[in-house]
């Protein structure tokens, strides 16, 4: 087989697979550039924070805590919302079955519907407690 025949055969096989040799190379280059950009983005703030005054390091640290609190809120909020919804339903049933006892109903509603619905950076550091259940009054 000559080199032209081999090249024609490999090109026909590659087009059957859906990618040509040129598109495979382009795909590999793009993938390498994405990995390179991602690694630079992830390491540059850390290196920058070590070389700069503490104001920048604190700002980067605060940004990280805010991002962590946002991720924690995504897990916490649905549970708190379901608890509040359940407390609203139970409180309404309590009002109906106790003949309109507002004190009992308000205790249930206050306990289930009040409290924290978001996790803040202070909660993650332990400076502020997380109040899943509202205050007793």
Q: What digits encode the pLDDT tens for the residues 16-29? A: 555 566 677 777 78
Residues 61 and 127 occupy one common structural domain: yes
- Find the helix or strand (DSSP H, E) in which 102 lies: helix 102-113
pLDDT greater at residue 44 or residue 82: 82
Residues 35 and 97 occupy one common structural domain: no
Residues 84 and 133 occupy one common structural domain: yes
User: Total structural domains in the chain?
Assistant: 2
pLDDT greater at residue 78 or residue 17: 78
Residues 72 and 47 occupy one common structural domain: no
Residue listed under structure tokens 């309109």: 100
Residues 12 and 71 occupy one common structural domain: no
Residues 36 and 88 occupy one common structural domain: no
* Residues of the domain holding 115: 57-137
Please state, as a whole number, how many other Cβ atoms lie within 10 Å of the Cβ of residue 112: 21
Q: What is the pTM of this model?
A: 0.54
Q: What digits encode the pLDDT tens for the residues 1-51? A: 666 666 555 555 555 555 566 677 777 788 888 877 666 665 655 545 555
Residues 135 and 73 occupy one common structural domain: yes
48-72: average pLDDT: 67
């Amino acid at each position: 087989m000559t080199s032209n025949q081999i090249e024609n055969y490999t090109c026909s096989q590659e087009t059957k697979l859906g990618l040509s040799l040129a598109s495979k190379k382009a795909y590999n280059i793009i993938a390498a550039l994405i990995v390179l950009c991602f690694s630079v983005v992830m390491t540059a703030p850390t290196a920058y924070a070590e070389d700069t005054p503490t104001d920048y390091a604190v700002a980067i640290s605060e940004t990280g805590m805010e991002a962590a609190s946002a991720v924690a809120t995504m897990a916490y909020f649905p549970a708190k919302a379901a608890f509040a919804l359940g407390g609203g339903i139970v409180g309404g049933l309590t009002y109906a079955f106790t003949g309109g006892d507002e004190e009992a109903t308000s205790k249930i509603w206050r306990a289930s519907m009040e409290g924290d619905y978001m996790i803040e950076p202070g909660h993650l550091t332990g400076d502020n407690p997380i109040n899943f259940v509202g205050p007793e009054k």
